[in-house]
Amino acid sequence: MSDHFIDDLMFITPLGHAPGIRLFGQITAAHKSPVALALMHCRGQHQDTTDITVDLTGVHHLSQQALIALIDVARALPPPLCLTLRARPELGLKQRLADHGWHEMDDLRISDT
């Protein structure tokens, strides 16, 4: 897989300073596969890490199905790997995760910027 993905709504690029990816635009259910593939590619590139970051600070909309896809990725990570979602408060991730009980997952962290 390429290090980048782009379509009319979304752009994925690798993080330059840490294992992970940065997303821009509007993330919909149709983006589940490219996001999951980018994260798997990142994990293969950084097998010595315990934390993979998804930077959502450039995202204006994150659909519920796309959020569920990120939750599924976090659940599939073998210990001690953890998925960190970095997002602006406007996405309301903390509340959205708490609404479904996902805020207590050991393999998922939220970092508001």
Q: pLDDT tens digit string along 15-48?
A: 877 889 999 999 998 888 888 888 877 766 656 6
pLDDT at residue 43 in the model: 67
Residue 64 belongs to domain with CATH number: 3.30.750.24
Find out whether 103 and 97 touch, Cβ atoms under 8 Å: yes
Q: What does DSSP assign to residue 31?
A: G
**Mean pLDDT confidence for 38-62:** 83
Q: What does DSSP assign to residue 7?
A: -
pLDDT at 1 over 60: no
Q: pLDDT tens digit string along 95-111?
A: 999 999 988 888 999 98
Cα–Cα distance between 50 and 27 in angstroms, integer?
A: 25
DSSP states along 34-64? HHHHHHHHHHHH-TT-SEEEEEEEEEEEE-H
Name the domain count of the chain. 1
Secondary structure of residue 96 in the 3-state scheme: helix
